[in-house]
Structure 1
Amino acid sequence: METSSTNRSAFASWLLCLLGVTLVVAMGLGHGSGWGRGVQRSGMEKRLAEQLPALGARSSYTSSQTCLSCHPDQHHSWMTTYHRTMTMRALPETVLGDFNGQTVLSDGLAYTVSRTNDTFWARMPDPDLVMQAVQGKKGGDLTRIPSVDLQVVMTTGSHHYQTYWVESPRLEGLMQTLPLVYLIEDQRWIPREAAFMRGPDDQERLVTQWNHHCIRCHSTGWNPGLDDRSGMLNTEVAELGISCEACHGPGKEHIAYHRNPFNRYARHLGSEPTDASDLVNPAKLDHQLSSHVCGQCHGVFMPNNDSAMDVAHKGVQFRPGENLHDKRYYIQYPKDPDDKERWADFQANPQFFAERWWEDGTVLAGGREFTAMSASGCYTRGKMSCLSCHSMHQAPPEDQLTPQSDANASCTQCHQEAEYNERIESHTFHSGESSGSECMNCHMPHTTYALFNAIRSHQIASPQVASSLEHGVPNACNLCHLDQTLAWTQSHLVDRYGHEALEMPLEHRETAASILWTLKGHAAQRAVGAWHMGWDVAQKTSGGDWLSPYLAILLNDPYPVVRYIAKRSLESVMGEKVPDYDFMGDSSDRQRTYQEIMAYYATNVSQRGGDGKLLLDDAGQIDQRTYRRLLRQRDDRPITIKE
């Protein structure tokens, strides 16, 4: 383990290491590099393999295919997961995007996608020159960079959207991003910068190389392969995507052992102890070590200082079953005033924290579930693990939730007291059959953002208004009771649970919290608020006929992700009555759609006329004066979320 003094410099050293790898590649375009190729295939697949990082068995890794013969059921269930399809070769059966000759602008540069037989292509500004200009700090007019035709060789994503990679024209095996995103449900292309929460004035171009960044969580048995002499990346991976060995450990010795029939019989008869090469079953580890298996990707971390360059040179250091903290420095939001090390991290890198946490220390960025859970009492004082709710082999792929995880059984397996079971109404003050008595709706609200969605916080906590009042973090009560004020929530928490009553400003006594978040909140609040206005549970609790004016204004929000979420929620409120709308369209067109919806609402008003906390007059019309005043107070600080 590292000493405190070394940890204090962890941010700086790791960020410099990453920057150094990037700059070396960006500045070294004249250097050559060569390394082993992947498995040779005939025809198109052979040519494709030649452009990818070296694929196949390496070091102690083998591949998921070798697991199939002995573990067909587990292999089959894994095959259905989005973990398997996280990264794939670009083949007709894996490419979901419509390569139809369309041209899409990304930060002012033109990208044209097309298909020739079973191969996929992009005509794009030379990605090496773009990388050199952006990451190498060369600057210049990027629109003057010549375009090149490059084959799309690799995909990332298969659930919500899919992105694509091309090989560098000059550096073998270096995967350059095609900065477009294909939205699977919408069946459309958008520029990559529109798919992420980032400030509207953020001029930083999203130029990424897969080999030293995405590789760490989107492949198995990875090694960036930094060569100090050439400065190039001789990248190799055992397998694209998250496969068996990512969770169970390298399998080469295990397979060799069990291919010997005498060893198998001995194991079967119990006459031989477990061999030293045996793989790890996360379900048989303690709750911390099993969670570390997931935490190797689902966390905010960096390598320990003494291993940072080893990662760049040799690749993945962690093996399932090991203590992850021995290999990495896990970053947490500082809460203990005496934790000088964490506060030093925070003070040195405030923007780093702002891009991943709410201001009260609750995790904001999706994909960081281990970081969130490991800050929860259920993990630190109890025995909660990722496997308490999730399974890679016994759950549908949408969220990998076990059958009991959609109900309260995930929680009551530990919380067996009567007040959480047969007498749950005495604890929740809601009907036992209602959504208000579902543990996760109160203790794991959807306050984390990723992939155009609000997702459940994995930082288990009880509802309270202090964070909403002091830091603007949406609370579980008001995310379900969209039509109620923060003062209303506080009154119930004081009466029912003995919370301390805080001084409540006038606006929190007069106006529903959801309206304040959507009209005057910052972009993360607006995104979370808009998502909940489309949540069926909240609509059933709060009604939906008053929501359209608050979603309509978000159709012209400065952030594309907020506009997208608002449009989707508006469709759940208005159905087919939503006018034609393109969240990537011109501002004038988006404003016109807003006006059409407001005009429609004026003749189809809410039945809750006179409800002042919803800004409705007696006739059900919007109090335009207050509506516009709150809108003028919108928090326009730039928000970036590193999901």
Structure 2
Amino acid sequence: MSGIAHRLAERHVGQAGCALHASSGVQSSPIGHGPPAGVARQAGVIVGVILAVLLIAPTPARTDPSYVGTAVCTNCHDDAGQGWTGSDHAKAWTLPSETTVLGDFSGVTYEHGGQVTRFLRDGGTYLIETEGPDGERRAYEVVGVAGVDPLQQYLLSPEPGRVQVYDIAWDVEARRWYPVFPGPPPPPKDGFDWSGSYKSWDGRCAECHATDYSRNYDPASDSYAPRMAEIGVGCEACHGPGSDHVAWARRSDGTMTVANSAEMGLTIDLDAPPQAEIMQCLTCHSRREAMGDGNPVPGTPYHDAFSMALLREGLYHPDGTILDEVFEGGSFLQSRMHAKGVRCSTCHEPHSATLRAEGNAVCTQCHSPAGNPDFPSLALKVYDGPEHHFHPGGGEGAQCVSCHMTRRTYMGIDTRRDHSFRVPRPDLAATGSPDACTDCHQDRDAAWAAAELARRFPDSTRRGPHYASIFAAARRNPQAASRELLDLAEWRDGPAIVRATALELLGAVPDIASARRVMRLLPDADPMVRAAAAGTLRSLPAPDRLIVLQPLLTDPVRSVREAAAKALLDVRLPPGSPQARNLADARAEWEDALNLRADFPETHLQMGGAALQSRDFTAALDAFERAVALDPQLVDAWMMVIRLHAAMNDPDAAEAALGRALSANPGNVNLLALQQGG
């Protein structure tokens, strides 16, 4: 793993990263997104009030359908509204008030790693006193509240046009302040400081805490001018803009007739086959890279709006269970439940965001002697009993989730469960994958657990080869595992995210025979597989690559078109031909997506790499310079800046860049080695 990858992985950041992970259930990854600027205390309470009003200002007039707000929806949908009020979705983002702020702002101080934070009030204004981006200590007004359970974070504005997530959070149950990230606090100017680019609420969190959000980032001023229909995840965040539906309801004169979603004025039919609902939930409940600014209109096909993160090292264990904060989507797509048609609302009540039942009763809706007629392939037998789980009733070991939904803790106290619903596989422990049995039986080892399961379930069909073994080997040496990876990619009945991951791990086809196998996957039914297949063919000569990837440049799914464009970065065609136009159009889509993410240091690493591939050294230098401006601790990007200056015959600029790099990263061995090497 490169130095850049280590930095992003170890510091809990990814392309979709989110600075906050309370039970508001956001997308992104372990760090944040959000709106308008509050203001530092010294700028004055009046300005803070004005900005708080701007925070919830309605979006400017737009063509129909338009957003009408949750209050309008609940005029008719009272039961849904009552369930939603007080839910994690409703409280995903609120303005500070006596009822929304749960933390102790009585003037208490909290010290962590030499960083002293004071939490206080000035009348109705909540303040956090800490070091700002300039290293000076001052009190910042709390301009927003994120989440409600099990932790709550507070939003500050170090400067106009920028809202940040402060990373000393409130533990709701224990009623204490604590650091979200346990390591030493980064210094001011560090990308991981609370005021740094990775802790941007506007850019990394807000879209999954608001309805109809767009961040409107301005690279020139490095600031945001966000717009949204409302803060919090309201009705229209899932059901789509409501103006046409309200008009339809008014025309009905109270005599509602059965109609499809389009006739009712809705942009999405959540009662349709499960995939529509699942992918709508996954717009926030998955680790992904966005192609647009903010929330796509509900009903927009997922893969036209996002590229889902595959089962990558650092994000998932080799068996596909959650490792980093990837949310539920990627694991659920691997599950047999997903394959059989289970949808999110089978287990979760969508308005209250609570489970359909308590404890094992959620599972025994289907897994019981009675079964469930919606899923006829179920085995009809007792699952919630000692003959299945071999543990005393009522204890932790008797809970279905203990064995089938391993858990990890994020942000110090936020426990989340894997949603791939796996049969325990302690026999895969050698791959580095988690073992549900020894998670509880910590005095035993995986070999004991595997033997116990073999004894208790001698006829189980849930043992034997598993992709965990292939992925674990391929992470060490992908080319040595190329045959197994290709076999896995051709697993037609397998989860698409697994098949696409096999192709991504392959990296590049090693020979013509492998290339032919990958080419047969280019028309695959799933866009993740098509997109990943395009990437593996980049080792083909440019003319051959263009021939085989040309159909993907006009694929109906945007994520596939972008993948083909990236795989053809080095191809140049004379203008005017249909082939050239298709390539230019697909490249333009990808470049538009990158430009909309210009507030992410990671984006500029992609831009720099693409420019190098196109041998545009000036553009590459600009991209890497922007990356280190946003995150001065990206040493690998600094190394590229220095080397590019040297390659462009500007030794003075290279030396100056080395000085800047060392100033931001004193004592870094790679930079010192570069300095000593001249």
TM-score, scaled to structure 2:
0.53
What residue in structure 1 maps to residue 120 of structure 2? 114
Letter aligned with residue 323 of structure 1: P
Letter aligned with residue 459 of structure 1: S
Contact 2:152/2:169 (CA < 8 Å) preserved in 1? yes
Letter aligned with residue 446 of structure 2: L
Q: Distance in 1 between matches of 2:283 and 2:122?
A: 39
Q: How far off is 1:211 after superposition?
A: 0.8
Matches within 5 A, 1:434-453: 439-447=400-408, 449=410, 452-453=413-414
Q: Which moved more, 1:82-91 or 1:413-422?
A: 413-422
Matches within 5 A, 1:239-318: 239-258=230-249, 260=250, 263-265=251-253, 268=256, 275=263, 277-278=265-266, 280=268, 282=270, 284-303=271-290, 307=291, 310-311=292-293, 315-317=294-296
1:191-238 Cα shifts (integer Å, max 9, x gaps): 34339999xxx9943432211111121111111012366553111121
Q: Distance in 2 between matches of 1:96 and 1:250?
A: 32
**2:47 maps to 1:69:** no
Three-state SS of the structure 2 residue aligned to 1:236 is coil
Cα 1:226–1:272 shift into 2, 3 Å: closer
Matches within 5 A, 1:395-414: 399-402=354-357, 405-411=361-367, 412-413=371-372
Cα 1:297–1:493 shift into 2, 3 Å: same
Aligned partner of 1:385 among 343, 367, 376: 343
Contact 2:37/2:163 (CA < 8 Å) preserved in 1? no
Q: Distance in 2 between matches of 1:154 and 1:424?
A: 43
Cα 1:195–1:272 shift into 2, 3 Å: same
Q: Distance in 2 between matches of 1:330 and 1:299?
A: 7
1:462-511 Cα shifts (integer Å, max 9, x gaps): 1112322331x332233344454323222233332454699xxxxxxxxx
Q: Which moved more, 1:207-216 or 1:265-274?
A: 265-274
Cα 1:372–1:450 shift into 2, 3 Å: farther
Contact 1:63/1:245 (CA < 8 Å) preserved in 2? yes
Cα 1:251–1:168 shift into 2, 3 Å: farther
1:230-271 Cα shifts (integer Å, max 9, x gaps): 55311112111211111111223322443x4xx122863679
Aligned partner of 2:164 among 176, 200, 203: 176
Q: Distance in 1 between matches of 2:392 and 2:430?
A: 29
Q: Distance in 2 between matches of 1:246 and 1:409?
A: 28
Aligned partner of 1:361 among 315, 320, 325: 320
Aligned partner of 1:457 among 395, 410, 418: 418
**2:70 maps to 1:79:** no
Cα 1:195–1:109 shift into 2, 3 Å: closer
What residue in structure 1 maps to residue 208 of structure 2? 217
What residue in structure 1 maps to residue 562 of structure 2? none
Cα 1:196–1:218 shift into 2, 3 Å: farther
Q: Distance in 2 between matches of 1:220 and 1:271?
A: 25
Cα 1:474–1:64 shift into 2, 3 Å: same
What residue in structure 1 maps to residue 475 of structure 2? none
Q: Distance in 2 between matches of 1:148 and 1:446?
A: 39
Q: Distance in 1 between matches of 2:45 and 2:85?
A: 24
1:439-480 Cα shifts (integer Å, max 9, x gaps): 444322335656525433201221112322331x33223334
Letter aligned with residue 280 of structure 2: V
**2:446 maps to 1:486:** yes
CA RMSD of aligned residues (A): 4.0
Cα 1:430–1:386 shift into 2, 3 Å: same
Letter aligned with residue 268 of structure 1: M
Cα 1:188–1:46 shift into 2, 3 Å: same
Contact 1:389/1:401 (CA < 8 Å) preserved in 2? yes
Contact 1:424/1:432 (CA < 8 Å) preserved in 2? no
Cα 1:450–1:463 shift into 2, 3 Å: farther
Aligned partner of 2:100 among 94, 101, 110: 94
Q: Distance in 1 between matches of 2:423 and 2:365?
A: 18
Letter aligned with residue 444 of structure 1: M
What residue in structure 1 maps to residue 153 of structure 2? 163
Amino-acid identity (%): 22
Matches within 5 A, 1:559-574: none
Letter aligned with residue 254 of structure 1: H
Three-state SS of the structure 2 residue aligned to 1:66 is helix
Cα 1:69–1:225 shift into 2, 3 Å: same
Letter aligned with residue 347 of structure 2: C
Q: How far off is 1:189 after superposition?
A: 1.6
Cα 1:119–1:437 shift into 2, 3 Å: closer
1:522-546 Cα shifts (integer Å, max 9, x gaps): xxxxxxxxxxxxxxxxxxxxxxxxx
Cα 1:185–1:153 shift into 2, 3 Å: same
Cα 1:203–1:193 shift into 2, 3 Å: farther
Q: How far off is 1:431 after superposition?
A: 7.3
Letter aligned with residue 181 of structure 1: A
**2:306 maps to 1:332:** no
Letter aligned with residue 362 of structure 2: D
Contact 1:298/1:368 (CA < 8 Å) preserved in 2? yes
Letter aligned with residue 408 of structure 1: T
Q: Which runs of no fewer than 5 residues in structure 2 stay unpaired? A: 1-7, 18-34, 39-43, 467-678
Letter aligned with residue 150 of structure 1: Y
Letter aligned with residue 386 of structure 1: C
Contact 1:104/1:112 (CA < 8 Å) preserved in 2? yes
Cα 1:451–1:239 shift into 2, 3 Å: farther
Q: Which moved more, 1:203-212 or 1:241-250?
A: 203-212
Q: Which runs of no fewer than 5 residues in structure 1 stay unpaired? A: 1-10, 20-33, 38-42, 130-144, 334-345, 347-352, 503-643
Q: How far off is 1:426 after superposition?
A: 10
Q: Distance in 1 between matches of 2:465 and 2:236?
A: 52
Q: How far off is 1:369 after superposition?
A: 0.6
What residue in structure 2 maps to residue 638 of structure 1? none
What residue in structure 2 maps to residue 205 of structure 1? 193
Three-state SS of the structure 1 residue aligned to 2:223 is coil
What residue in structure 2 maps to residue 626 of structure 1? none
Q: How far off is 1:116 after superposition?
A: 1.7
**2:179 maps to 1:191:** yes
Q: Distance in 2 between matches of 1:167 and 1:449?
A: 25
Q: How far off is 1:378 after superposition?
A: 2.1
Cα 1:325–1:402 shift into 2, 3 Å: farther
Cα 1:276–1:409 shift into 2, 3 Å: closer
Cα 1:218–1:272 shift into 2, 3 Å: closer
Letter aligned with residue 149 of structure 1: A
Q: How far off is 1:57 after superposition?
A: 3.2
Q: Which moved more, 1:182-191 or 1:286-295?
A: 182-191
Q: Distance in 2 between matches of 1:402 and 1:196?
A: 41
Q: How far off is 1:95 after superposition?
A: 0.8
Cα 1:45–1:222 shift into 2, 3 Å: farther
Q: Distance in 2 between matches of 1:119 and 1:274?
A: 45
Q: How far off is 1:375 after superposition?
A: 1.6
Q: Distance in 2 between matches of 1:409 and 1:449?
A: 29
1:377-431 Cα shifts (integer Å, max 9, x gaps): 221x3102211210123x6x6x444457534224443666785425887972737
1:272-304 Cα shifts (integer Å, max 9, x gaps): 99636235452x02211111121111111112x
